Chain A
Amino acid sequence: MDAVRDRYPEHFRRFGPQRLPMIVVASAMLALLLYGMEVLGFFDGKLLSGMGRLVEIAGLMMPPDPGSWAHARAYGMALIETVAIALLGTLSAAILALPVGLLAARNVTAQRIVRFLARRSLDTIRSVDILIWALIWINVVGLGPFAGALAIMTSDIGSFGKLFSEAIEAADRKPVEGIASAGGSHFMGIRFGILPEVFPVLASQVLYYFESNTRSATIIGIVGAGGIGLHLAEAIRTLELQQTSFIILMILVTVAAIDLVSSQLRFAMIGRRAGPGK
């Protein structure tokens, strides 16, 4: 062992010069973490008492119970509304995002300035959170599920536009060239050369987003844009904890069911190998 140690001293040093940058970065990150926890109030003793209360709250949430039959019915209706919001927002976003995605794709739009503008506006739309869109639409069409559907639509146009344009750019060039060589116009090249090829990919992305939008739709109710979120926020704020856990359970079951259905549909469409967002 000592002979090996003598021959390769660099492998036996605990903190060689090679590891120095790693150590500096790690300790800087740790220092920032501790500083952040200090600033955000982790060390005021609130953490421990809060943990105690959290355990208490978790105990009070058991067993899940809607309280009364009327409550359960109202939650069920709100959940259907939530799914409706997600479906409507996702589908209308997909329809509106297709032309924008074409404008932002390199192999469709030759003008660099159009492409640049399309991409920047998509980026801006995506950077604004769905809850902020919900608040803006509430100002336009009033409180209610309609504002929620519009918020999901707006925020998804940003995501779909980007994903669609990437899928379109990844499409094979040969069908388009074939159509061009047969005398087809640019529009025909898009319609018969690109769209048939990318459609399954786009549809699978839409299905994938439908599931994640159901999750988003459960929270936009917190700001008043319809769906189950309103009931959930109310139940939490009035400390009806058994109802809270009942609603959360309902959401989990619904999301799981939609996940199952949408992934079955996706696999049927594109085969088992392709994952989400690829």
Chain B
Amino acid sequence: MAAYDASVRSRRWHTLLMVACVAAAMLLASISAEVSPVKFLENIHRFPSYIIRLFYLENGQPVWTDFGEWFWGLGRWLRLLSETLLMAYVGTLLGALAASCLAFLGAANVAPARWVRLVVRRFCELCRTVPELVFALLFVIAFGLGPMAGVLAVAIHTLGALGKLFAEVVENIDMKPVEGVSSTGAAWHVAMRFGALPQVMSNFVSYALLRFEINVRGAAVMGFVGAGGIGQDLIEAIRKFYYSDVSAILVMILLTVAVIDSLTSLLRHRLIGLEGKN
């Protein structure tokens, strides 16, 4: 019993020490992040009231009493929303195509040379770690305001993220088909095309679809830095306190994201089902 007590006591001490460490880290962080509980408590009532205020029109009526007034800019917003979707689509596809080429160069089992692999890996890491919006800010300077900067930012980030995932998929393939094709004297790219690509295709598509979901959300905020899409109208509405516009645009974005999510998950499940059949 004494041994049991001792072991419980030592575990308690460990837990307590961990809690103390976490608490100390949080305290230091709160000082640095200028957290003030007083300001928070004084202003917290404004959070629910802000959210509620979003659902009232300028004339003081709740938004659902007059849909025409709530969605007054429907045509413009739908156009911007379709631009956002198109940005996500083009960015994802360009990024995924580039990533699927780089993946074969960056995978440990099939890469043509060690230095190629290292260069590709580092490049993907750089593209992935620098946030999308930073790329967008830089591209806005180079390409001017407009959706093209946003598309390229999405594409670069997708390239980085998918390059890593795709390379991991390629590293997990069965090497026998590749060896078989190579043994007939085929060049490297032929061996990849007929030995490796058929094995990884369904996984590539599945990851690219997941990335598309993420990129729709990402493209929606590209407008915050002037890189096209619905974000431009959203940030303007938030900054100028056009409350009902904010809620209208947010509702439209949320609906679009929900529809895209369920469509892609449907597609991915069908894809996995196809794989099972073969």
Please state if A226 and B50 are interface contacts (CB–CB under 8 Å).
Answer: no
When the two chains form their complex, are residues A145 and B33 in contact, meaning their CB atoms are under 8 A apart?
Answer: yes
Q: How far, in whole Å, are A237 and B250 apart by their CA atoms in the complex?
A: 28
For the residues of B in contact with A, the DSSP-based class is helix
> When A and B form their complex, which 4 residue pairs have the shortest distance between CB atoms, in order from nearest?
A50-B143, A84-B32, A84-B29, A145-B33
State whether the Cβ of B133 lies closer than 8 Å to any Cβ in chain A: yes
Beyond A36-B89, A141-B39, A252-B130, whether A54 also contacts B139 by CB under 8 A is: yes
State whether A33 touches B142 (Cβ < 8 A): no
Query: Which interface residue of A41, A87, A132, A256 has the most chain B CB atoms within 10 A?
Result: A132
Q: Which of B33, B138, B224, B258 contacts A81 (CB 8 A)?
A: B33
Whether A46 touches B144, Cβ cut-off 8 Å, given contacts A141-B43, A222-B133, is yes
**Interface code B34-58, partner A: CB below 8 Å = 1, 0 otherwise?**
1110011001101100110000000
Interface string of A114-158 (1 = CB under 8 A from B): 000000000110011101100111011110111011000000000
A141 CB contacts on chain B under 8 angstroms: 39-40, 43
17 A-B pairs (CB sep. < 8 Å): A33-B93, A37-B90, A42-B151, A46-B148, A81-B33, A85-B33, A128-B250, A135-B239, A139-B46, A139-B50, A140-B43, A140-B44, A142-B39, A144-B34, A145-B34, A218-B131, A232-B134
Cβ-neighbour of A132 out of B29, B139, B221 (below 8 A): B221
CA distance A81 to B25 in the complex (A): 13
Cα–Cα, bound, A174→B76 (Å): 57
Cα A137 to Cα B142 in complex, Å, equals 32
B87 within 8 A of A: yes
A159-196 vs B, Cβ < 8 Å mask (1 yes, 0 no): 00000000000000000000000000000000000000
B98 at interface by CB-CB < 8 Å: no
CB-CB contacts below 8 Å: A217-247 with B: 218-219, 222-223, 226, 232-233, 236-237, 239, 244
Return the chain B residue nearest A35 by Cβ.
B86
B88 to chain A, nearest CB (A): 10
Q: Which residue of the partner chain A has the closest CB to B85?
A: A36
What's the Cα separation between A256 and B87 when bound, in Å? 30
Contacts of B234 in A (CB 8 A): 132
Q: Which single member of A41, A53, A140, A233 contacts B148 (CB below 8 Å)?
A: A41
With both beta carbons as reference points, the residue of chain B lying nearest to A130 in the complex is identified as B221
Contact A215:B224 (CB < 8 A) given known A57-B141, A91-B26, A132-B250: no
Check if A47 sits within 8 Å of B131, measured CB to CB: no
Cα separation A131 to B131 with both chains bound (whole Å): 13
Could you tell me if A40 and B87 are in contact, using CB atoms closer than 8 angstroms? yes
Q: Which residues of B are found within 8 Å of A223, using beta-carbon distances?
A: 224, 235
Interface of A is mostly: helix
Which of these, A81, A219, A248, contacts B133 with CB under 8 Å? A219
Which residues in window 1-52 of A have CB below 8 A to B?
29, 32-33, 36-37, 39-42, 46-47, 50-51
Q: Given A50-B142, A129-B217, A222-B224, A136–B50 Cβ distance below 8 Å? A: yes
B175 within 8 A of A: no
Q: What's the least CB distance linking B92 to chain A, in Å? A: 10
Q: In the complex, are the beta carbons of A50 and B148 less than 8 A apart?
A: yes
Query: Judging by beta carbons under 8 Å apart, are B138 and A57 in contact?
Result: yes
Residues of B within 8 A of A248 (CB): 130, 134
Listed residue (A32, A36, A41) with the most chain B CB atoms within 10 angstroms of its CB: A36
Q: How far, in whole Å, are A124 and B25 apart by their CA atoms in the complex?
A: 30
Chain A neighbourhood of B61, CB < 8 A: none
Nearest A-chain residue to B35, judged by Cβ = A146
A199 smallest CB distance to B (angstroms): 10
**Nearest residue in A to B47 (C-beta to C-beta)?**
A140
- Picked from A37, A57, A139, A146, the residue with its CB within 8 Å of the CB of B36 is A146
Q: When the two chains form their complex, are residues B35 and A149 in contact, meaning their CB atoms are under 8 A apart? A: yes
- Of B35, B133, B143, which one neighbours A47 at CB under 8 angstroms? B143
Rounded to whole Å, the gap between the CB of A133 and the closest CB of chain B is 11
Please determine whether A128 and B89 come into contact, CB atoms closer than 8 angstroms: no
Q: Within the assembled complex, what's the spacing in Å between the Cα atoms of A226 and B181? A: 56
A140 touches B50 (CB 8 A): yes
